[in-house]
A and B are shown apart, each in its own frame.
Chain A
C-alpha cells in the first residue's frame, strides 16, 4: 500500500527489522523442523512396533496358519500379481463398482436435490434413506442374491441400493446450506437461470458433490466385495470366500490387503487430490 515516496525512510530501518524477522523465522523453522522430526520418529517407531509385534506373534506365539508372518503375505501378493490373477479379479470387482456407483451417483444426486428443496419429498424418502444407511449390507446382499442369482447383476444392484443414500445425504446437506441471499442477489441483478446455476449453484455445491463421491465410493467397494462373497463368480469377494473356506489365512490376508490398499489409495489419494485441484479457489473447503 505504501507509495514509493514513503518507502525511502522505511528502507533505512529495514535492515534491522528484517534481521529480527529473519531470526524469528529461523526460530520458527527450527521449531517446525523439530516437530516434524519428532512426528516422523514416533510414526516410524509405531510401524516398527506393530510389524515387530506381528512378526513376533507369528514366529513365537502361535502357528503360522493363524498369524502368517508379514513376509509370507508379501510373497503371496507377489505371486498373485505375477500370475495375472489380480487383473481378472480386480477387473471384475472394479467394473461392478464402476457401473453400480455411476448409476447410484446420478440417481442419488437427483434425489438429493429433490429432498433438499422440498420438505414433502424429504418426508417421503426420509425413512428409506435412513433405513438403507443403517441396515446391515448383508441384508441387501442376500436380497439381491435371491432375486438375481449368481453373476454380476446382483452385486451391481446391491451397490446401487446402498450407495444411493450416502450420495443423497451429502447432496441434501449441500442444497440445504445453499446461501439464499446469493441466489436472490443474482436474481435481483437479472442473471439468467443458467448463469445462476453455473456461477452460484455449481461452485457452492462442488465440495458436497465431492464428499458424496468419497463416501459413496467407500461404501460401494465394501458392499461390492460383500455381495461377491455370497454370489460372486469372480472378483475380490469371490477370492476372499475361497481362501476363507480353505482356511488359508495367508491367501485371505494377501487378497484383502492388496485390494484394501488399492481402494484406500483411490479414495484417499486420487479423489482427494482431484478435489484439491478443483477446489483450489476455495482453500477453506479443500481439505
Chain B
C-alpha cells in the first residue's frame, strides 16, 4: 500500500509492469477523475431525470462557455474577470487597513486587548452575513461586493500580521543592533523575511474567505460577476449550466491553489531549506516525510 511497494524494481513480465503503472501516484489521480465520470454517468442512467445532467451535456456546455458562446448575459471570461477585479480591489483595501492595525496590535499590548475580541468575532463571522449586510447597505452594484471582500479578509490580515510581529526573533534583532546593521537593512533582511510567512498566510486565508464572500455578495447584491452567473443558471433551471459553472469554480480553485500559491510560496520562501518552502497544508504535494 505504502511507498515501499512503489520503489520495488519493475519485474520483467508485462502484467507486473501494468500493476506498477497502476500503482503510480499519477495514475491514481487520473483514475479518480475517470471514476468520478463513470459514477456520474451511471447516476444519470439510474436516475433518469432533468435534475442530474449527463456528463456529455455538461462538457458541451463548458466547451461552449470556453469558446465564449453562451446565452447568459456575460461570457465566462467577463464574469470571472469582473469577479477577480472586485476581489483584487477589496483585498488591496483589506491589506491597506489591516496591516497597520496588525502591526499596532503586535507591538502594543493595550491595542491588542482593545481589539482582540472584536477581531476574533470578525474572524468567525460567516461571509454570508457580510454579504447580506453589505447588500442591504449598498444595494446593487460594485460597492457591496468590494466591501464584502474587504470585511471578509481584513480580520485575517490583522490577526496574521500581529502574530508575525510577535514572532520576529528577538535575538536576531539584538545581534543586528550589536553589529551596527543599518535600520533599513535590518528591516529588509530580518523583519521582512520573518514576517513573510504570516503575510502569506494572511493572503491565502484572506483570499479564500474573501472569494467565498464575494460570490455570495454577487448573488444577492449584484447583477454581474461569476457568482451572479451561476445564480442565473439556477434561476433558469438549467442544470448543466449550474454543474458546468460549479466545475469552473472548482477548476479555478485548483488552479489558484496549485499554480499561484504553490509558485509564489516557492519564490517567497526561497531562503528556506527546500523541504519547508511549502505552506504547511496536508493536502498539498509536499515531499513524503514517512519515507520508504
Question: A residues near B, CB below 8 A?
Answer: 38-43, 45-47, 49-50, 66, 117-131, 133-140, 142-143, 145-147, 165, 169, 172-173, 176, 180, 218, 222, 225-226, 229, 240, 244, 247, 249, 252-253, 256, 260, 264, 267
Bound-complex Cα distance A267 to B136 (A): 28
Encoded as 1 (CB less than 8 Å from any A CB) or 0, chain B from 219 to 246 comes to 1100000010011001000010011011
Bound-complex Cα distance A134 to B256 (A): 9
Bound-complex Cα distance A38 to B288 (A): 47
Selected contact of A139 from candidates B3, B113, B250, B285, CB within 8 Å: B250
**Please, how many residues of chain B have a CB less than 8 angstroms from a CB on the other chain?**
65
User: Which of B25-33, B142-150, B176-184, B189-197 lines the interface with chain A?
Assistant: B25-33
Contact B212 A120 (CB under 8 A): no
Selected contact of A136 from candidates B28, B125, B215, CB within 8 Å: B215
Bound-complex Cα distance A66 to B138 (A): 10
Contact B113 A130 (CB under 8 A): no
Q: How far is the CB of A163 from chain B (nearest CB, A)?
A: 14
* B2, CB-defined interface residue at 8 Å: yes
* B6, CB-defined interface residue at 8 Å: yes
Bound-complex Cα distance A247 to B137 (A): 10
Chain A residues whose CB sits within 8 angstroms of the CB of B40 once the complex forms? none
B-side binding surface: helix, strand, loop or mixed?
Answer: helix
Bound-complex Cα distance A49 to B28 (A): 56
Encoded as 1 (CB less than 8 Å from any A CB) or 0, chain B from 264 to 292 comes to 00000000000000000111110011100
Q: How far is the CB of A168 from chain B (nearest CB, A)?
A: 8
Q: How far is the CB of B262 from chain A (nearest CB, A)?
A: 11
* B188, CB-defined interface residue at 8 Å: no
Contact A38 B230 (CB under 8 A): no
> Given that A38-B110, A225-B126, A240-B132 are contacting pairs, would A126 and B216 also be in contact in the complex, using a CB cutoff of 8 Å?
no
Q: How far is the CB of B154 from chain A (nearest CB, A)?
A: 15
Q: How far is the CB of A165 from chain B (nearest CB, A)?
A: 8
9 more contacts with CB within 8 A, not counting A49-B114, A138-B230, A256-B129, are A46-B113, A120-B1, A122-B25, A126-B283, A130-B257, A136-B212, A146-B242, A244-B135, A253-B133
Chain A residues whose CB sits within 8 angstroms of the CB of B28 once the complex forms? 120-124
Bound-complex Cα distance A133 to B208 (A): 9
Can you list 29 A-B contacts (CB < 8 A)?
A: A38-B110, A38-B113, A40-B113, A42-B113, A66-B136, A119-B6, A120-B28, A123-B25, A124-B29, A126-B29, A126-B283, A134-B256, A135-B250, A138-B212, A138-B216, A140-B246, A142-B234, A143-B246, A146-B234, A169-B281, A169-B282, A169-B283, A176-B290, A218-B124, A222-B128, A226-B126, A247-B136, A252-B136, A260-B125
* B89, CB-defined interface residue at 8 Å: no
Q: How far is the CB of A5 from chain B (nearest CB, A)?
A: 45
Contact B51 A146 (CB under 8 A): yes
Chain A residues whose CB sits within 8 angstroms of the CB of B33 once the complex forms? 127
Give the residue name and chain of the B residue nearest to A130 (CB): B283
Chain A residues whose CB sits within 8 angstroms of the CB of B56 once the complex forms? none
Chain B residues whose CB sits within 8 angstroms of the CB of A169 once the complex forms? 281-283
